[in-house]
Structure 1
């Protein structure tokens, strides 16, 4: 495995653990994302896994429904992405993306893999789990968060109904780095 595949695996393991820990009565809990409950957060992650397959002319394969089995739906989507990352030819295939031409593995790393970290926090916060983000992840994401272009905060800039990041939430400059990162990513760390 390479660094991108390893990073995806670690992030997916952490997210899967959070999905597995959601109790039956918590799926409708409000998340820090205004329009999403806990189930919607997992649905977004599953949908984004499908987006990563589109350049290959693929869709997500048969899987449990999000309504019946959110954990099963995530595991099936995860398997599809891990298959791409495990295939050197597919992983190195270049595609045009909203951020320019990148390899499939770079796109997975920059989009859905990174999403697992942020939306893992959303899911944990919505369901009362430990919402601590690995400090190494926070440090890795911090420089990119500081450079988020305004167009990525503009609803619809990447298509109808697509919101990449919400407006920045002001956080004190002496707040923990995780809180400052969340604020830059449009999250209220005190949700």
Structure 2
């Protein structure tokens, strides 16, 4: 026979176990991961945080051309592009994906460019990069994706249940993504 007196304490004991972290579903209550939507790519973009809010920094492709990379000219043409970060102050430290695209805006090659790769003064920082693409003759433009990628390596719930989680930037753009 079961004692009603013994059952009366059961809800309290279960609540204690759940609050102490002994419950198997505790992690889903305290830690969640979400991924931001990829913003619209453009030649000039306002860099935005994971919630889609502007950081006050503009990133822009100021020019590009096809030419052999000086260190490996035998590999043929690559996309040599120049970019600028306006109003980057070293506090926000933004990074955006730069992609060579074809006429349909399909990515042919991408890489992340960081504000600290650019040089200048008064918050106007200019730099350059090289993109290796399989068919350089198909490149129609170089576009930037506005999502700040500088926090891409933030801890996830799977990596660190206690300190991980939150909103993360979208995955970096790859060859074949339509921008």
- The structure that has the greater radius of gyration is 2
Structure having the larger proportion of residues in strand = 2
Structure having the larger proportion of residues in helix = 1
What TM-score do you get using the length of structure 2 for normalisation?
0.23
Q: Which has the higher contact order (CA 8 A, sep 6+)?
A: 2
What TM-score do you get using the length of structure 1 for normalisation?
0.22
